[in-house]
C-alpha cells in the first residue's frame, strides 16, 4: 500500500485521506461498499455529473442518433450482441452520471498488481469498472482522465458496465430509454 500510494505524484497529495489501510476497520472482503456506512465521503471529492435533468433529453437524443448510425456502419458487431454493443459504445453517456471514482486495492490487486478502478454515481452505484496496472503512468493517466472528462484507455477497452447501469438494469433502462425501434436491425 505504501508503494501504491506514492506511485504517482498526482495521488501522493491525496493519499493521507484516501488510503484506508487499517485491516481491522476496513476488511470487508467482497462487500467493500460497507465502507460507505463508516465514511460516506470516502469516494473522494464529489463532483457534478455532466448530465442534468435539463441536458439529459438532448444527450439521450444524441446517443440514439449516434446508435442508428453505428448500427449501420457495424451491422455484424451489432447483430452479434446488441446489448454489449450499446453498453460498450454508451460509456460517454454513463460518464455523465458518474460523480466520482475509486481505486480499490482488493485481494486480486495484491495478487496481480492491478487495482480495481470503479466509477460510481452520486448514490454509490457502480456505473462502470475495470482493472488498471498499479504503476506511475497508469495511475497518473487515470487521475488526469478524470479531470479531462475522458476515460482511461483500460476503461474504454476492457470496461464492464455496472449491473444497475446495464441495458436490463433499473438505472440503465431509465438512462437509455431504449425502444423496440432502437433494437431493430439496421
Tens digit of each residue's pLDDT (9 = 90 or more) over 2-26 = 666 556 666 656 555 556 666 666 6
At 50 the pLDDT is: 58
The pLDDT of residue 93 is 87
Cα 76 off chain centre by: 27
Is a pLDDT exceeding 60 seen at residue 42? Answer: no
Closest CA to 49 of 102, 93, 104, 87: 93
- Report whether pLDDT(40) > 60: no
pLDDT(157) > 80? yes
> What pLDDT is recorded for position 91?
85
More confident residue, 92 or 47: 92
Give the pLDDT of residue 11.
Answer: 60
Q: How far is Cα 31 from Cα 93, in angstroms, rounded to an integer?
A: 27
pLDDT digits (tens, 9 = 90+) for 66-105: 999 999 999 999 999 999 999 988 888 888 888 888 888 8
Residue 83 CB neighbours (<10 A): 14
User: What does the buried/exposed string (b/e) look like for 159-180 if buried means 16 or more CB atoms within 10 Å of the residue's CB?
Assistant: bebbebbbbebebbeebbebee
Amino acid at each position: 500500500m505504501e508503494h501504491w500510494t506514492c506511485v504517482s505524484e498526482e495521488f501522493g497529495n491525496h493519499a493521507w485521506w484516501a488510503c484506508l489501510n487499517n485491516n481491522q476497520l476496513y476488511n470487508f472482503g467482497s462487500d467493500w461498499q460497507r465502507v460507505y456506512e463508516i465514511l460516506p465521503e470516502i469516494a473522494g471529492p464529489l463532483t457534478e455529473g455532466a448530465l442534468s435533468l435539463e441536458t439529459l433529453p438532448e444527450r439521450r437524443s444524441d446517443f440514439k442518433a449516434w446508435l442508428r448510425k453505428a448500427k449501420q456502419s457495424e451491422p455484424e458487431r451489432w447483430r452479434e450482441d446488441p446489448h454489449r454493443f450499446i453498453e460498450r459504445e454508451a460509456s460517454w453517456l454513463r460518464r455523465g452520471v458518474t460523480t466520482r471514482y475509486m481505486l480499490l486495492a482488493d485481494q486480486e490487486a495484491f495478487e496481480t498488481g492491478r487495482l480495481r478502478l470503479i466509477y460510481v454515481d452520486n448514490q454509490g452505484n457502480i456505473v462502470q469498472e475495470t482493472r488498471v496496472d498499479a504503476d506511475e503512468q497508469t495511475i497518473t493517466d487515470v487521475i488526469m482522465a478524470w479531470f479531462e472528462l475522458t476515460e482511461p484507455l483500460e476503461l474504454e477497452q476492457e470496461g464492464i458496465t455496472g449491473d444497475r447501469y446495464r441495458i436490463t438494469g433499473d438505472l440503465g433502462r431509465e438512462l437509455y430509454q431504449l425502444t423496440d425501434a432502437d433494437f431493430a436491425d439496421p
